Copies of this chain bind each other. A is one copy, B any other.
Amino acid sequence: MTSPRRSLADFVERLGGRVLGDPATTVAQVATLERAREGDIAFLTNAKYRSLLQETRASAVIVGEAEADATALPRIVCANPYAYFAKVSALLNPAQEFAPGVHPGAVVGEGAHIDPTAHVAANVVIGAGAAIGAGCVIMAGCCVGDKVSIGANSRLYPGVVVYHDCVIGRNLIAHSGVVIGSDGFGMAWENGRWLKIPQIGRVVIGDDVEIGANTTIDRGALDDTVIEDDVKLDNQIQVAHNVRVGAHTAIAGCVGIAGSASIGRYCRIGGSAGILGHLQIADNVEIASFTLVGKSIREAGSYAGIFPISKNDEWRKNAAQLRHLDELARKVRQLQHEIEELKRKNP
């Protein structure tokens, strides 16, 4: 929280853009326009909040070309203020560093290879034959199964579990409670009982993936479950066996994705949405929160299916009618016929 101050000149040298006002202005932290105080740099990403530029107490701001002259404050003008802000924040708030080495309280299986630059914390268990890449940080209480491979610079927060044989790319961020590689929900029905189907696929995760707290990703039944590069998963998402999530897709919290669904690249899926099994979703599809995708979507675009909220009484009346909607539609067709008849008789 006590970042060293950096100057606007320093930012543009590293990140591009140009300074208007004094380039020697220094800042220590990022903040919103409303909350900024002396020493903060704020940002404007939406023209409708432009008036906040007049009130902010920020020492400097990041703006787009259209707002280059909308304030007298020292400012950085750039093409994408939100992305620029993200980079400024990363410079002012570098990720915590962890000393290389394996804590004496960690348990490391036979034949596991842990890169000497990796950090393995207390109470971690690393399985036999696992491989932990350079610069990885495996925090307290994580369990990494036998023969798992984790690429360089990945970070597992406390309590992440990765089951045996899963393959993870570089730069993974997995938050606490994430479970990767648990058995898919597969069973056969025989003689009045369930019979478990061994789940022998893996989870294969690309590079630059982030997975939110308590999200679960099941291993494949026969083939693998696949999460491609730069996929971003929020908290408490359930990814069933043999799902494929295409590169650069972002999925908000509490979404459930059923077995063998295949989601395209560059999709955005809203919170608490659901996707049924064996469906295909094209690239560049946007799904609204709370929407069930019940059939494949072949065409890019925005989709929704949400019951609108209302006062309880109104909802009750409308919902009651909804149960007779098919009947209502039939009545309307009947009325159309009757009116046609009347009009014919009384031209």
Contacts and interface: CB of A to CB of B under 8 A. Distances in A.
Contacts of A210: 183, 196
A70 interface: no
B326 A307 contact: no
A256 B258 contact: no
Contact of A322 (B105, B190, B272, B307): B307
Scoring A139, A197, A271, A328 by chain B CB atoms within 10 A of each residue's CB, the highest score goes to: A271
Contact of A318 (B234, B252, B290, B326): B326
Integer count of this chain's copies in the complex: 3
A319 B311 CA distance: 15
A24 interface: no
Given A139-B143, A272-B256, A310 B305 contact: yes
A214 B179 contact: yes
A73 interface: no
A177 interface: yes
Interface of A: 1, 29-32, 35, 80, 82-83, 85-87, 89-90, 93, 95-96, 103, 105, 107, 121-123, 125, 139-141, 143, 157-159, 161, 163-165, 173, 175-177, 179, 182-183, 185, 187-190, 192-198, 200, 208, 210, 212-214, 216, 218, 222-223, 230, 232, 234-236, 238, 240, 248, 250, 252-254, 256, 258, 271-272, 274, 276, 286-295, 301-312, 314-326, 328-329, 331-332, 335-336, 338-339, 342-343, 345-346
